[in-house]
């Protein structure tokens, strides 16, 4: 296994992700925990020093223990990791006065070849992503230069005899397009064969959950979405009936959704599940409310109350499980308190653990969405479930602009089911990030048979996106749109007009509220 010593970079998890993609098992440990004893116990086959925000000149600047250099295994230092390595091995680092470098840079190779760079320089230079204030001004004895950039004469250095390498840039980020190649070469040098799998990840995760939880009880809020479902099934594998799931049904779910969630978790997986049917409460409080933010706030507040009520009834629970993913972790670290305005108050349960005095279990914290899906497959969750489009916490409330009534919800559920059925039948579901129907707060006149109708209009929405932050509308064919409109009007009583929303995000948002 490979050890990543974390010096606090925002992107340390991306290093782990690159290694997992290469089939290499790695663990990230914060530098404070990496002592001599830890190193000899861990016995890594290779070590990577991450980047980090500190300056090697700061008092108490983070360092790995000296003994790491005596392990006789390959070491790769990245950014801050490079500087700390150079400083410890006898090189010199200078404060960055005017030599700071952030963003895209181009590295050109030195004449001498290095196995670490095998196949890396596609042309005579390679794009990399820099982010540093200080810089190395003299390399340590034994090291040579293998790549330079205009502001970093020591962009790539190495001591091939000892298998120590140090780079100034971040090979793990997307803006170093060929960075994965560097990791691939590095792990080959260390003798990894790339045989690690998601199955092995699952076993490790189960072990860690057992260690953390012991014989205590865990509560998990299940939404029916992929993340909380994968977390629940994984935790159940680890600790069995010490886990109880609470599924809050706010009456704003899609057609048959509550039944599907309950039967999958209760019947298929035998997970103890409380189905909190609180639709009366939610719909009652939403009665007559049409302002989008007010709706969101009501739903968020009630959700927390209801969840707490049901969770408190589970005696002796000490842990709360959440399906937090790595992107949620970085976003909340780097953007919290930022200057952005609130477009929509997202409904989340982030404040729950403090309020309830519970400790958190977050087994997906290191993973990215596609990795969670792979883990879900590993755990036997059906593909149709794993590939599901995202569904917002406030549910159909934000797809029913204006006042919410039971009648409108009923119509919306039916129309949405027909639309999604059409998309699946045409084999388009997986090409689309998210698709749904919004029922509009207007009635329009139509003619059906020989009679006049005066029914609701609805809008179909379908977008492509990679992360939900920006989106484009999906270019359905006119045939598809025509056929779908006909089906909805024929099969759903209460709708007599269908429109297609062709707004991208920005300026629109994906949901209607």
Binding-site residues for ATP, in ranges, read: 223-229
Report how far residue 8's alpha carbon sits from residue 52's, in angstroms, rounded to the nearest whole number.
Answer: 5
Distances (CA, A) of 94 to 139, 268, 288, 355: 11, 61, 65, 47
Whether cis (ω within 30° of 0) applies to the bond prior to 507 is yes
Q: Among this protein's residues, is 170 annotated catalytic?
A: yes
* Distance in Å, CB of 342 to ligand XMP, minimum: 11
Q: Please say which residue, 87 or 434, places its beta carbon nearer to ligand XMP.
A: 434
* Distance in Å, CB of 511 to ligand XMP, minimum: 3
Q: Which residues contact 256 (CB under 8 A, 6 or more apart)?
A: none
Sign of CA dihedral 256, 257, 259, 260: positive
The b-or-e profile of 353-369 (16+ CB within 10 A means b, else e) is eeeeebeebbbbbbbbb
Q: Please say which residue, 87 or 229, places its beta carbon nearer to ligand XMP.
A: 229
- Paired tokens of 475: 């270019």
Q: Please say which residue, 171 or 394, places its beta carbon nearer to ligand XMP.
A: 394
* Distance in Å, CB of 296 to ligand XMP, minimum: 6
Q: Which of 26, 101, 135, 170 is catalytic?
A: 170
- Paired tokens of 396: 């159909």
Q: Please say which residue, 8 or 468, places its beta carbon nearer to ligand XMP.
A: 468
- Of 17, 24, 21, give the one whose Cα is nearest residue 2: 24
Sign of CA dihedral 379, 384, 385, 387: positive
- Of 85, 93, 89, give the one whose Cα is nearest residue 58: 93
Sign of CA dihedral 252, 233, 328, 199: negative
Q: Which residues are annotated as a binding site?
A: 223-229
* Distance in Å, CB of 32 to ligand XMP, minimum: 34
**Can you give the binding site for ligand XMP, defined by CB under 6 A?**
344, 346-347, 390, 392-394, 434, 468, 505, 509-511
* Distance in Å, CB of 461 to ligand XMP, minimum: 10
Report how far residue 433's alpha carbon sits from residue 411's, in angstroms, rounded to the nearest whole number.
Answer: 23
Q: Among this protein's residues, is 172 annotated catalytic?
A: yes
Report how far residue 230's alpha carbon sits from residue 376's, in angstroms, rounded to the nearest whole number.
Answer: 5
Q: Please say which residue, 63 or 296, places its beta carbon nearer to ligand XMP.
A: 296
Report how far residue 433's alpha carbon sits from residue 387's, in angstroms, rounded to the nearest whole number.
Answer: 10
* Distance in Å, CB of 504 to ligand XMP, minimum: 11
Q: Do 89 and 178 form a contact (C-beta atoms < 8 A)? A: no
Q: Among this protein's residues, is 245 annotated catalytic?
A: no
Q: Please say which residue, 362 or 483, places its beta carbon nearer to ligand XMP.
A: 362
Q: Which of 26, 101, 135, 172 is catalytic?
A: 172
Helices (H) and strands (E) in the chain, counts: 15, 20
CA-CA-CA-CA torsion for 282, 260, 269, 467, nearest 10 degrees? -80
What amino acid positions are annotated as catalytic residues? 79, 170, 172
């Amino acid at each position: 296994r490979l050890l990543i010593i974390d010096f606090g970079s925002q992107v340390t998890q991306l290093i782990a992700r690159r290694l997992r993609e290469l089939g290499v098992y790695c663990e990230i440990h914060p530098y404070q925990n990496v002592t001599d004893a830890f190193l000899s116990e861990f016995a890594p086959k290779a070590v990577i020093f991450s980047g980090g925000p500190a300056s090697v000149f700061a008092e108490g600047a983070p360092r790995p223990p000296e003994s790491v250099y005596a392990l006789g295994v390959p070491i790769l230092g990245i950014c801050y990791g490079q500087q700390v390595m150079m400083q410890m091995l006898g090189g010199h680092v200078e404060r960055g006065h005017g030599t700071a470098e952030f963003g895209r840079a181009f590295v050109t190779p030195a004449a001498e070849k290095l196995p670490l760079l095998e196949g890396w320089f596609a042309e005579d230079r390679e794009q990399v992503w820099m982010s540093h204030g200080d810089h190395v001004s003299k390399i340590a004895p034994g090291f040579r230069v293998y790549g330079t950039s205009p502001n970093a004469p020591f962009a790539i250095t190495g001591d091939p005899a000892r298998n120590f390498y140090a780079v100034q840039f971040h090979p793990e980020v997307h803006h170093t397009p060929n960075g994965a190649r560097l990791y691939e070469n590095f792990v080959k040098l260390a003798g990894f064969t790339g045989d690690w799998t998601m199955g092995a990840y699952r076993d490790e995760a189960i072990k860690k959950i057992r260690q953390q939880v012991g014989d205590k009880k865990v509560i998990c809020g299940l939404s029916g979405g992929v993340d909380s479902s994968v977390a629940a099934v994984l935790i159940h594998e680890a600790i069995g009936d010490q886990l109880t799931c609470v599924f809050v049904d706010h009456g704003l779910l899609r057609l048959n959704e509550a039944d599907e969630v309950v039967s999958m978790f209760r019947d298929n997986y035998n997970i103890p599940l409380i189905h909190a049917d609180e639709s009366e409460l939610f719909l009652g409080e939403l009665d007559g409310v049409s302002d989008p933010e007010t709706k969101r706030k009501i739903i968020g507040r009630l959700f927390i109350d209801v969840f707490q009520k049901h969770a408190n009834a589970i005696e002796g629970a000490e842990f709360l499980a959440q399906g937090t993913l790595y992107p949620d972790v970085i976003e909340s670290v780097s953007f919290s308190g930022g200057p952005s305005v609130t477009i929509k108050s997202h409904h989340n349960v982030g404040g729950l653990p403090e309020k309830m005095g519970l400790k958190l279990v977050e087994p997906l914290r290191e993973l990215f969405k596609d990795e969670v899906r792979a883990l879900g497959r590993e755990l036997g969750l059906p593909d149709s479930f794993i590939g599901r489009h995202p569904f917002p916490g406030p549910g159909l409330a934000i797809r029913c602009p204006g006042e919410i009534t039971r009648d409108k919800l009923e119509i919306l559920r039916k129309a949405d089911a027909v639309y999604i059925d059409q998309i699946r039948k045409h084999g388009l579901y997986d090409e689309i990030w998210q698709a749904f129907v919004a029922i509009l707060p207007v009635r329009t006149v139509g003619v059906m048979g020989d009679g006049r109708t005066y029914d609701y209009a609805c809008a179909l929405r379908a977008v492509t996106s990679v992360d939900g932050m920006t989106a484009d509308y999906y270019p359905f064919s006119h045939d598809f749109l025509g056929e779908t409109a006909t089906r909805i009007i024929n099969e759903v009583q209460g709708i007599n007009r269908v429109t297609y929303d062709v707004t991208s995000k920005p300026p629109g948002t994906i949901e209607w509220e």
